[in-house]
Chain A
Amino acid sequence: MKNRIMTHIVAGYPNMKECEERAIQFARSGIEFVEIQIPFSDPVADGPVIMKACEHSLKAGTKTKDCFNLMKRLSKRFKEEKLETKLLFMTYFNISHKYGLKKFCKDAKQVGAYGLIIPDIPIDEESHEGYLKECKANDLNPIQVISPITPDERLNKIGKVAKGFVYCVSRYGTTGAKSDLNPKLKTYLGKVRKYIDLPLAVGFGISNRAQINAVHKHAEIAVIGSALIESSSQQSINLFSVGFDVEEDF
């Protein structure tokens, strides 16, 4: 895979057709992972850009089912074009809970999901919800999200259940809120690697090529979310073009 990057779309933003096109372009430019966010009315971990995109999508009438259909079409298209990009669902636990967790995981696998990113289902609730168990039963990677204040003991616990890769939030805050990288990134990721033997993805606040390069010095995967929500397709493609290292801010 030439571009060890994970990008993000909010299903139904700015509309179903355009976000689908966007995902296809991401895949064609060799992006390794694309997160498809199923919009939720109360997205606690998201900053203003993604929050507004979710609100917009829901107002336009996006249903959970539509998001599954979107992934289904994308998976089919990727297969036809022999694109290796992997798709993930990102959402909040209530969406999967209301859908029925078992069915949610089964259907996600069926439409081609590589994994799920659900930030508000911590490992501590496993005995109550069986989220990891359902992911395992359906061969989905439950992507764990960790933060700079996650203590060692917890990293150890998370390391034991993590699969696929681990999403390391680079700093405090919600998605997209600031534009600088955490200067202590190296120390932070070093600590994470003591407990977790998986590729690390670093996200939150990444918006230009220089930052992507900086992340790639310490982590396998760079995550660009909010910055792409409002940028044009061409701007995004420029950002991902390999060898493209002009520092361009969005």
Chain B
Amino acid sequence: MKSLKKYLINKGGHFGIYGGRYVPEMLIPIMEEMEEAFYEAIKDKEFLKELDDLYKNYSGRPTPLYFCENLTKQLGGAKIYLKNEGLNHTGAHKINHCLGQALLAKKMGKKRLIAETGAGQHGLATATVAARFGLECTVYMGKRDYMRQRPNVFFMEQLGATVIPVEEGGQILRDAINAALKDLISNPEDTHYLLGTVCGPHPYPAMNTYFQKVVGEEVKKQLPVKPDYLVACTGGGSNAMGLFYDFFDDKSIKMIGVEAGGKGIKENKKKAQHAARFETGSVGVVEGFKSYFLQDEDGQIKETHSISAGLDYSGIGPQLAYLKDMKRIQFTYATDVKVLEAYKVLAKTEGIIGAMESCHAVAEVIKLAPTLPKSKTIVLNLSGRGDKDIFIVTKKLKDKKFQEFLTQHVHEK
């Protein structure tokens, strides 16, 4: 294959045996319309100029590539650089593909945006761009995520979005995706489904990869040397594809994706205690695409668990499944416990509070860096900042004083 980069955004939407467009006939014309609009837009200089302007002046790109001097010293191995996507407007990398898709939706004459969200970061970014572009907005969120990421629900509502807690299934990300697909099936004419990761039917994986690739492109310009390792957490895979994409054609650069290890790689017939698809998952066709899923022997999708709502998903992007098969990306996982430790280490050594999702990548870097010589360079994608996790972390770290404050605050009139 000449260029992996080209292949990963190919118009056919298949990546080896993965990807595709396994959707009911009702969705086919909608996906075709979107595909056509997307491949046209990325050849349109005006569109790209507008997007670039939004990246810069609305979201605050380029985000810094920060050399973690203290952490590097403390670990005593490879040099650690951190791409701080948490400094984007709305606090995570999700704004990148939201701006791209909203611009596209506007171009297609859509009046309404809908989205699914897990941690609430993608929903927040969607609500934000909807407000910016004057579009109506409905966000679906599994009831459980709705409860554990309540601050983001508040902000989405402030931005004018309607947030619908999904009561079906395990009440997490995948139930929200199902609900959003159903909304799209019911409103195919005026609605754009702003899917928030590199999953789903074609063209979503290719399209979101394209809109996220700015992350790696910036790193290439910002880093004084060639990186040896790139590390990113992987839920659906959008931040990983964003960091990795521009480096795919250089085979000397190693890439590591970190899945959610949850409470460890244990599961029963219905529920996994983790969301590490490449540990115990198998190939399936769900929610419109073919990839690895956590499923039982009949193909029923399992519920998952992660401390981070954003990685709590039973499927993974089809491009990542393909890249795993061809050994271009190596996958590992970090457990909830290790993630919390990493969260504390990063906060105390570098003064950066990372999102629980992104701290999966931090945990891997803490493990990896000391095993490498000082001459090596690691770039980790800190895909989001940790403000949104305030209540989860308070609970997990058993911060009594803050919990007292919260209780008091609630009772105050």
A residues lining the B interface (CB < 8 Å): 40-45, 47-48, 51-52, 55, 58, 63-64, 93-95, 97-99, 119-122, 124-125, 128, 144-147, 149-151, 154, 169, 172-174, 177
Q: Are B25 and A174 in contact (CB under 8 A)?
A: no
Q: In the complex, what residues of B have CB within 8 A of residue A124's CB? A: 21, 28
Q: Are A47 and B25 in contact (CB under 8 A)?
A: no
Q: Within residues 39 to 78 of chain B, which ones have a CB less than 8 A from any CB in chain A?
A: none
Contact of B394 with A by CB under 8 A:
no
Q: Are B285 and A120 in contact (CB under 8 A)?
A: yes
**Given A99-B299, A150-B25 in contact, is the A173-B20 Cβ separation under 8 Å?**
no
Q: In the complex, what residues of A have CB within 8 A of residue B22's CB? A: 93, 120-122, 125
Q: How far is the CA of A42 from the CA of B30 in the complex (A)?
A: 20
**Given A97-B284, A98-B298, A177-B186 in contact, is the A41-B26 Cβ separation under 8 Å?**
no
Q: How far is the CA of A99 from the CA of B17 in the complex (A)?
A: 18
Q: In the complex, what residues of B have CB within 8 A of residue A94's CB? A: 284-286, 293, 295, 299, 301
Q: Are A173 and B186 in contact (CB under 8 A)?
A: yes
Q: In the complex, what residues of A have CB within 8 A of residue B28's CB? A: 122, 124, 150, 154
Q: How far is the CA of A79 from the CA of B321 in the complex (A)?
A: 47
Q: List 9 A-B contacts (CB under 8 A).
A: A44-B288, A98-B298, A119-B25, A120-B23, A122-B25, A122-B28, A145-B24, A150-B29, A173-B185
Q: Are A120 and B288 in contact (CB under 8 A)?
A: yes
From B81-89, B122-130, B174-182, B342-350, the one touching the partner chain is B174-182
Q: Are A98 and B188 in contact (CB under 8 A)?
A: no
B273 to chain A minimum Cβ distance, whole angstroms, is 18
Contact of B169 with A by CB under 8 A:
yes
Q: In the complex, what residues of A have CB within 8 A of residue B371's CB? A: none
Q: Are B185 and A172 in contact (CB under 8 A)?
A: yes
Q: How far is the CA of A42 from the CA of B17 in the complex (A)?
A: 21
Contact of B287 with A by CB under 8 A:
yes
**Given A42-B287, A98-B298, A154-B28 in contact, is the A51-B188 Cβ separation under 8 Å?**
no
Q: In the complex, what residues of B have CB within 8 A of residue A41's CB? A: 169, 300-301
Q: Are B14 and A128 in contact (CB under 8 A)?
A: yes
| Number of interchain pairs (Cβ within 8 Å) | 111
Q: In the complex, what residues of A have CB within 8 A of residue B174's CB? A: 42
Q: In the complex, what residues of B have CB within 8 A of residue A97's CB? A: 283-285, 299
Q: In the complex, what residues of B have CB within 8 A of residue A99's CB? A: 298-299
**Given A98-B295, A124-B21 in contact, is the A174-B301 Cβ separation under 8 Å?**
no
Q: Are A125 and B21 in contact (CB under 8 A)?
A: yes
B217 to chain A minimum Cβ distance, whole angstroms, is 32
Instruction: Provide the B154-183 mask, 1 if CB < 8 A to any CB of A, else 0.
Output: 000000000000001100001000100110
Q: Are A174 and B287 in contact (CB under 8 A)?
A: no
Contact of B187 with A by CB under 8 A:
yes
Q: Are A45 and B168 in contact (CB under 8 A)?
A: no
A49 to chain B minimum Cβ distance, whole angstroms, is 12
User: Which of A43, A45, A151, A177 has the most chain B CB atoms closer than 10 A to its own CB?
Assistant: A45
Q: Which of A40, A125, A147, A173 contacts B300 (CB 8 A)?
A: A40
Contact of B412 with A by CB under 8 A:
no
Q: In the complex, what residues of B have CB within 8 A of residue A128's CB? A: 14, 17, 20, 290
Q: Are A122 and B21 in contact (CB under 8 A)?
A: yes
**Given A94-B295, A174-B186 in contact, is the A120-B24 Cβ separation under 8 Å?**
yes
Q: Are B299 and A98 in contact (CB under 8 A)?
A: yes
Q: Within residues 295 to 310 of chain B, which ones have a CB less than 8 A from any CB in chain A?
A: 295, 297-301
B299 to chain A minimum Cβ distance, whole angstroms, is 3
Q: Within residues 237 to 294 of chain B, which ones have a CB less than 8 A from any CB in chain A?
A: 282-288, 290, 293
Q: How far is the CA of A98 from the CA of B285 in the complex (A)?
A: 9
Q: How far is the CA of A174 from the CA of B17 in the complex (A)?
A: 29
Q: Are A147 and B25 in contact (CB under 8 A)?
A: yes
Q: Are A172 and B300 in contact (CB under 8 A)?
A: no
Instruction: Provide the B188-215 mask, 1 if CB < 8 A to any CB of A, else 0.
Output: 1000000000000000000000000000
Q: In the complex, what residues of B have CB within 8 A of residue A63's CB? A: 298
**Given A44-B181, A94-B295, A95-B299 in contact, is the A149-B29 Cβ separation under 8 Å?**
yes
Q: In the complex, what residues of A have CB within 8 A of residue B285's CB? A: 93-94, 97, 120
Given contacts A98-B299, A124-B21, A149-B30, 8 further A-B contacts (CB under 8 A): A40-B300, A48-B168, A51-B168, A120-B24, A122-B23, A122-B24, A122-B28, A149-B29
